[in-house]
Amino acid sequence: MTATCPHCTESIEATDRFCEACGADLHLRRAGTVTAVDSATVETDRPCRSCGHCAPADNDGYCPSCGLHPRDGTDRVELDLGALAGVSDRGHVHARNEDAMALGLLTDKGGLAAVVCDGVSSTRDPEKASRAAAETALDVLLGVPPDAGATAVALTRDAVAAAAKAVSALAPADRLDPPSCTLVSALVDRSGQEITIGWVGDSRAYWLAGPEAAEPARLLTNDHSSAAQGRPHEITRWLGLDGEPEPDIVTLRPTGTGLLLLCSDGLWNYCPNAQDLADIAVPASATGPLGAAATLTTVALDAGGRDNITVVIIPVVIPVIPTLRSPS
């Protein structure tokens, strides 16, 4: 039996890591905000979604009849890779979804990663920054090709550096308000026993578990913001021009089962407390990580949805090691 590449349908060998024809990583399953954008991008000969006008969109990017700008497909993005899932929502107030996420898992050797980025609204085209940063960071975290010698901490540092470079490359340095964004990433090793979190800015990682859990719920990151000075929405580190893209990195070795949550401030502005988040997410995760991510997103939307909301859930199962009894 011959398998085919899911990307280009060329035949592949079971032992191949990469497709010989298109170069796709055959063992990496990934999804991201950009996937939603790609599939929704309006082709020039497609009818306008609002009025059905069939003439090609004019040069200014608007429908030549009703004047509406095509949406880019990211108002609501739901990604589910089974082992992890994410929801990103425009919210009720912002015109665009300037958050982005990227999720991936390696099907051969295990190991998975996720990245959440929040575009800085005071810059131009912030969604370009968040999308480029999320995708670039995931590329490095899930190593193509994998850097055998690299530690998870070094990979995280490299991923943030590469993401920062990708954001800077989006606009010439002399342009007014070049795009910038925050970043939070998680790299989970194949056993699920070592989780490496890196972040720049005020996007957060939480550990969520029941109140009696061996590994208690808590916030894992520490915002780079002027919250202490009374300006919680003024970030002090970011990816982009004049930003300090230096990540803080922590490693978590959970002793019990729980959920890893990555989120933008669109969620934690409404629900900052780890135990409160856990009380909502843990029961909702019974249907899988997408259920938990969607439930948390709904909480933020119902509370007002003033910002873009992005929620990624990674369930972490620590196997109970049976106690060895000495033969009697």
Partner 1 sequence: MTGAPPFTVEVDHNAYLHDGASRVDAIVTVTGSEDAAPAPGGLEIIIIDCSSSMTGEKIRSARRATVAAIAALRDGVSFTVIAGTQIAEQIYPRKGTTATADSDTRAEATKTVDRLRAYGGTGIGTWLTLARRTAQRHPAGIKHAVLLTDGQNGESAGELTAAIQACIGKFTCDCRGVGTDWRVDELRTISSALLGTVDIVAKATDLADDFRAIMNAAMDKRVADVALRLWTPRDAQVRFVKQVSPTVEDLTARRTETGALLGDYPLGSWGVESREYHVSVEVPRRSVGERMLAGRISLVRAGSDEILGKGLIQVEWTGDSALSTQINVRVAHYTGQAELAEVIRDGLTALEAGDEPLATARLGRAVTLADESGNDATARLLNRVVEVIDTATGTVRLRRNVSKEDVMTIDSRSTKTVPVRRGP
- Chain contacts with partner 1 (rule: CB under 8 A): 51, 60, 62-63, 65-69, 71, 75, 90, 92-96, 306
Dihedral pair phi/psi, residue 294, rounded to 5° = -65, -40
Question: Among residues 285 and 308, whose Cβ is nearest to partner 1?
Answer: 308
CB of 62 to partner 1, least distance (A): 4
Residue 313 exposure: Cα atoms within 13 Å on the Cβ side = 32
Comparison of 60 and 212: residue with beta carbon closer to partner 1 = 60
Shortest Å, Cβ 294 to partner 1: 20
Closest approach of Cβ 127 to partner 1, in Å? 13
Number of CB atoms found within 10 A of residue 23's CB: 11
Task: Choose between 51 and 214: whose C-beta lies nearer to partner 1.
Answer: 51
Angle at 301 between CA 206 and CA 119, to 5 degrees: 65
Q: Which amino acid is at 166?
A: A
3-state secondary structure of 278: helix
Angle between helices 289-302 and 274-284 (to 10 degrees): 130
**The token pair that represents 69 in the structure block:** 């700008």
In the numeric block, the tokens 């959440």 are attached to: 116
Query: CB of 42: closest distance to partner 1 in angstroms?
Result: 13
Least Å from the CB of residue 125 to partner 1: 13
Query: Of 289, 103, 112, 261, which Cα lies nearest the Cα of 190?
Result: 112
